[in-house]
């Protein structure tokens, strides 16, 4: 069996590693840009949380967190011991309305039933724990508090992606710098993947893991996927602020902020204000979004951010699944040997270890063995049965 994977970002690389290492399958990964200049995996905010509103997302993040905690051992190769610098100060969701607070309470119950512990915090408790934060308008907060550490935090996603890539190669996978431009089929099965340089890669199975470009690749197989490239801006800021215990903060406005490693350094962002068009070029960072929207909101929430400077900014694509903002994982019908892992809508980096493991099981053994990823099945689109995730940032 030879599996050809289109896309060598974190999803493609994780799937390749699991296929090669756990199942002894021959794998070729086609990645059109070995520098990963536009890959979401290289432009991410790299955070991991358990505060989702759907059971499958909670379970996937728990499994992936366990993997990321031990990645230095699991993906070590002869010349590389990956250090992704995972820290777990938690996510703090704030609600400023009773409806928002009720949503946090509902999710708290679901999360707790799955072992993802969160603490619901009233304003006084928030003030005590985070004296640097203004919470007069807040009704309720929800903080990740699984033991022994919170189970939520952030890490270096680029290092994680490269670790999967290197370990996959060490396990026998081949990465080729080439752009997939089409497929050969026998009518029911894909037999090969064609590339822009005129080469052809015979395949007994194919995986489309092309991130924000997955719909374009799937179109070559006549399959429509509701996945679009939606630009998201990230701003790195510097402020004379020591935010003790600083979590990844999700403001009721949708603005997010998290500390970086160095003291006084932070990352922040927000969804776009006016529409969310496809394929906006990545060099068009919306600086007005920071000046007019993010900064005023952050300064009101954290008075120490009244004075700050933007040290850098960048943009990357969310691989947005317009159908229900969740991953599309599994068989790609009507083809008997085509699969996908795409559409993660901004939470794919944290899901890659568990999704790669599951997809490899499905391809190599015909079924999910460890964690049932059936809720992510692509068929839910045709069935009009959305898997709605309320917590998409």
Ligand X SMILES: Cc1cc2nc3c(=O)[nH]c(=O)nc-3n(C[C@H](O)[C@H](O)[C@H](O)COP(=O)(O)OP(=O)(O)OC[C@H]3O[C@@H](n4cnc5c(N)ncnc54)[C@H](O)[C@@H]3O)c2cc1C
Binding residues (CB under 6 A) for ligand X: these are 6-12, 30-33, 36, 39-41, 43-47, 179-180, 209-213, 217, 232, 234, 316-319, 342, 344, 346-350
Q: Residue 355 Cβ, how far from ligand X at the closest point, in Å?
A: 9
Smaller CB distance to ligand X: residue 177 or 238? Answer: 177
The string over 170-182, giving b where at least 16 C-beta atoms fall within 10 Å of a residue's C-beta and e elsewhere, is: bbebbbbebbbee
User: How many residues in total does the chain contain?
Assistant: 393
The answer to whether 37 and 8 are in contact (CB under 8 A) is no
Half-sphere exposure of 382 (CA within 13 A, CB side): 8
> 251 φ, ψ to 5°?
-70, 150
Shortest distance in whole angstroms from residue 369 CB to ligand X? 22
- Give the C-alpha separation, 331 to 376, whole Å: 10
Q: Which is nearer to ligand X, 141 or 269 (CB)?
A: 269
Distance CA 235, CA 127 (A): 26
Residue 135 or 150: the one with the smaller Cβ distance to ligand X is 150
What is the layout of strands, in order, in the sheet containing 180-185? 180-185, 190-195, 200-202
CA dihedral 292, 293, 295, 296 (to 10 degrees): 90
Instruction: Tell me the closest approach of the beta carbon of residue 74 to ligand X, in angstroms.
Output: 18
Strand partners, 312: 236
Q: Give least dist CB 173 to ligand X, A.
A: 15
- CB nearer to ligand X: give 135 or 195: 195
Cβ proximity to ligand X, 201 vs 213, nearer residue: 213
**Pairing label, strands 248-250, 180-185:** unpaired
How near is the Cβ of 66 to ligand X at its closest, in Å? 15
Give the nearest distance from C-beta 318 to ligand X in angstroms.
5
List of E strands, 42-148 = 47-48, 91-95, 118-121, 140-144
Least distance from C-beta 84 to ligand X, angstroms? 13
Token readout for 272 is 């776009």
User: Which residue number, 179 or 238, has a Cβ lying nearer to ligand X?
Assistant: 179
For ligand X, the closer of residues 219 and 307 by Cβ is 219
């Amino acid at each position: 069996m030879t599996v050809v994977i289109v896309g060598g970002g974190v999803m493609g690389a994780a799937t390749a590693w699991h296929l090669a290492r756990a199942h002894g399958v021959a794998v070729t990964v086609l990645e059109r840009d070995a520098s990963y200049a536009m890959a979401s995996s290289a432009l991410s905010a790299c955070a991991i949380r358990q505060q989702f509103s759907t059971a499958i997302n909670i379970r996937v993040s728990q499994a992936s967190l366990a993997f990321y905690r031990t990645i230095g051992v699991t993906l070590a190769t002869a010349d590389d011991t990956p250090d992704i610098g995972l820290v777990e100060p938690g996510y703090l969701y704030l609600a400023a309305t009773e409806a928002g607070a009720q949503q946090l309470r509902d999710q708290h119950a679901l999360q707790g039933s799955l072992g993802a512990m969160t603490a619901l915090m009233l304003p006084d408790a928030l003030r005590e724990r985070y004296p640097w934060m203004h919470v007069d308008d807040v009704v309720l907060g929800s903080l990740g508090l699984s033991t022994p550490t919170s189970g939520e935090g952030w890490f270096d996603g680029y290092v994680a992606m490269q670790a999967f890539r290197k370990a996959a190669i060490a396990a026998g996978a081949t990465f080729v710098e080439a752009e997939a431009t089409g497929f050969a089929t026998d009518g029911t099965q894909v037999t090969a993947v064609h590339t822009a340089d005129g080469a052809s890669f015979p395949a007994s199975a194919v995986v489309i893991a092309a991130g924000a470009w997955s719909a374009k690749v799937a179109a070559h197989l006549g399959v429509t996927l509701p996945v679009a490239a939606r630009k998201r801006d990230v701003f790195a800021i510097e402020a004379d602020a020591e935010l003790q215990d600083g979590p990844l903060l999700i403001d009721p406005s949708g603005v997010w902020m998290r500390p970086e490693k160095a003291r006084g350094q932070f990352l922040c962002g927000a969804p776009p204000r006016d529409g969310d068009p496809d394929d906006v070029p990545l060099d068009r960072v919306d600086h007005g979004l920071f000046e007019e929207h993010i900064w005023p909101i952050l300064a009101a929430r954290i008075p120490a951010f009244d004075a700050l400077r933007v040290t850098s900014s960048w943009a990357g694509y969310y691989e947005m699944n317009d159908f229900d903002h969740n991953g599309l994982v599994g068989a790609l019908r009507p083809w008997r040997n085509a699969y996908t892992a795409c559409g993660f809508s901004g939470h794919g980096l944290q899901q890659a270890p568990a999704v790669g493991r599951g997809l490899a099981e499905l391809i190599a053994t015909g079924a999910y063995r460890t964690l049932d990823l059936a809720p992510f099945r692509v068929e839910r689109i045709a069935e009009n049965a959305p898997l709605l995730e309320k917590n998409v940032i």
